Amino acid sequence: MLQLVREKIISRSLRVGVIGLGYVGLPLATTLAEAGFHVTGIDIDQQKVDLANQGESYIPDIASSTLQSLVEAGRLTFTTDFSILKEIDAISICVPTPLRKTRDPDISYIIAATRQVQANLHLGQLVILESTTYPGTTNEIVLPELESTGLRVGKDFFLAFSPERIDPGNPNFGTRNTPKVVGGVTPACTELAEAYYSAAIEQIVPVSSARVAEMTKLLENTFRAVNIGLVNEIAIICEKLDINVWEVIDAAATKPFGLMRFLPGPGLGGHCIPVDPQYLSWKLKTLDYTARFIELAAEINSSMPHYVVGKVNKVLNEMRRSLNGSTILILGVAYKGNVSDVRESPALDIIQELIRQKAVVLYNDEYVPSLTLSGRVLRSQPLSSGLLQAADCVVIVTDHSYYDAAWIVNEARSIVDTRNMTRTIADPKIFRL
């Protein structure tokens, strides 16, 4: 059975399915199709499926022209019908794994996708979970469901975990050239998953188990979350000591060893860095252990939006104004520059806190035309001299490349710069993080 699947990979006759067509799934489906496989993308969102079948990309990292050419060539098709899995040889599960309001993992999407796979599981099928989750999910949740069919892992079907490493908006690294970790439930599963992904991705990093692969992803983003928490606290410390934290970071970064450059900001955003460490922390709590570094970093990072609002309040006080009734213009609501993704964006917390304190909040973000917060719809305002001059305080939250820092400083009354976009400008109206 193993050799038969390997031969299908080599001949590109392997039929591929990707469940979940978001920031991870659509790029993966496109990369696999470009490698010569026939790929079927599956999603419960009919709008995504319709757009993709028309060759219209809703993911900025995937050009519509690329998608359209693959659709027209018959390499890519999209559907909401999971019964197509009966005809699929290799399945990549790329569904969301959010946190509940209680900060517990929500793996309901993984469970739902696994049940669809289970209902259509057949001999020789390769199943790979890519959704970020806690160590043990593949073995403890996915495997029992699939083996309930009577098929045996490593012999009748193959199961592995391979963490997604998508960095939206990164011009240098995408699905094809980002090294891909794979860990199977059995050695045969690892071997097959490695052969499968190596047909489309430049470098594969096999590890000894699915649990190691799951933990690898959590280490990557916990490392970042903890170090961002550290540098955010350094920023607060530097303000109390009347020291420019950005100058400190620039000077420290000249050391050629022993230091990795991290930057402070208004908080953590995106699906991975704010969420992934919490999966690990939750898992450790079930083992009666407190992940103290993770908890402390989360506490500092989650407090940064409130710290930014506090800084806005101080700036207005110096102008003899109160936050109540002042007009605050937020520049950028995406979680990072030059993307449209607002998942876990600190801008959302900043806006809601400003509204709670009765400020008049406007925002500009060409990547995010509208926002819905607590049932309230906000729309991006065209950036103009009039808009900047009308604001009592301008808060730079996201460093989109289309922002002209010098022009913004020239037009605005006061600026809170959380991203150091105004680093080359000396002006008393600028208040940096």
Same domain? 239 vs 163? no
pTM score of the predicted model? 0.91
User: Are 19 and 105 contained in the same domain?
Assistant: yes
> Is there a single domain that holds both residue 262 and residue 350?
yes
Residue 77 domain-assigned (yes or no): yes
Using CA atoms, how far apart are residues 10 and 20, in angstroms rounded to an integer?
Answer: 25
Asked if residues 332 and 394 have their Cβ atoms less than 8 Å apart, the reply is no
Domain tally, the chain: 2
Calpha distance 78→18 (Å, rounded): 9
Cα three-residue angle 27-164-65, rounded to 5 degrees: 5
Q: Are residues 6 and 63 in the same domain?
A: yes
Query: Tens digit of pLDDT per residue, the chain (433 long)?
Result: 778 888 889 999 999 999 999 999 999 999 999 999 999 999 999 999 999 999 999 998 899 999 999 999 999 999 999 999 999 999 999 999 988 777 788 999 999 999 999 999 999 999 999 999 999 999 999 999 999 999 999 999 999 999 999 888 888 999 999 999 999 999 999 999 999 999 999 999 999 999 999 999 999 999 999 999 999 999 999 999 999 999 999 999 999 999 999 999 999 888 788 888 898 999 999 999 999 999 999 999 999 999 999 999 999 999 999 999 999 999 999 999 999 999 889 999 999 999 999 999 999 999 999 999 988 999 999 999 999 999 999 999 999 999 999 999 999 999 999 999 999 999 999 999 8
Looking at the fold, whether 296 and 199 belong to one and the same domain comes out as no
Q: Which residues contact 143 (CB under 8 A, 6 or more apart)?
A: 153, 159, 185
| 269 and 367 in a common domain | yes
| Last-in-domain residue among 154, 184, 208 | 208
Q: What is the sign, positive or negative, of the torsion defined by CA atoms of 113, 115, 120, 124?
A: positive
Final residue belonging to a domain, choices 152, 174, 208: 208
| Residues 264 and 148 placed together within one structural domain of the fold | no
DSSP 164-217: ----TT-SS--TTTS-EEEEESSHHHHHHHHHHHHTTSS-EEEES-HHHHHHHH
Q: Is 94 a catalytic residue?
A: no
Same-domain pairing of 38 and 157: yes
Q: Let me know whether 186 and 315 are in one domain.
A: no
Dig out the tokens for 105 from the structure: 């993992």
- Residues 92-122: b if buried by 16+ CB within 10 A, e if exposed: bbbbbbebeeeeebebebbeebbebbbebbe
86, 196: one domain:
yes
Residues 188 and 262 placed together within one structural domain of the fold: no
Please say which residue of 159, 175, 208 terminates a domain: 208
Domain that holds residue 291: 223-432
Measured in residues, the chain has a length of: 433
**Catalytic pick among 94, 189, 238, 272:** 272
Q: In 3-state terms, what secondary structure has residue 128?
A: strand
Contact 422, 432 (CB under 8 A): yes
Residue 294 belongs to domain with CATH number = 3.40.50.720
Residue 352 CA to residue 374 CA, distance in Å, equals 9
Residue 151 belongs to a domain: yes
Which amino acid is located at 417 in the chain? D
Same domain, 301 and 251: yes
